[in-house]
Amino acid sequence: MSNSTGLITGSVIYFALVFIIGVPLSLYVKKHTKDRSQAKENFSLTWSLVVIGVIMMWLLWFCAYLHQMNPLVTPKLD
């Protein structure tokens, strides 16, 4: 089996990115919501969008990383 430390490291970085982006952004949105009755919904929506966005970025990175590990097309040597 191949060495998967790059996959683990990258996945941990993306997992940390959820909290690095999600916590300050959701607290900012909750604090600056003008209608207090919608603060909780905006907080939840912000968390949902951050999580979905980071998962999509991770999926793109994951596919690109895996395609480089085992390329289907190799260079032709003359």
Over the stretch 21-46, which tens digit does the pLDDT of each residue have?
999 998 899 888 898 889 889 999 99
Spatial CA neighbour of 43 closest among 52, 30, 34: 30
Angstrom distance (rounded) from CA 10 to CA 25: 22
The reply to whether 54 falls in a domain is: yes
The torsion of the CA quartet 72, 73, 75, 78, rounded to 10 degrees, works out to: 110
- Judge whether 76 lies within some domain: no
State the pLDDT confidence band at 59, using cuts at 50, 70 and 90.
very high
Give domain status of residue 74, yes or no.
no
Whether 75 is in a domain gets the answer no
pTM: 0.79
Bigger pLDDT: 72 or 55? 55
Q: Which pLDDT does position 2 carry in this prediction?
A: 59
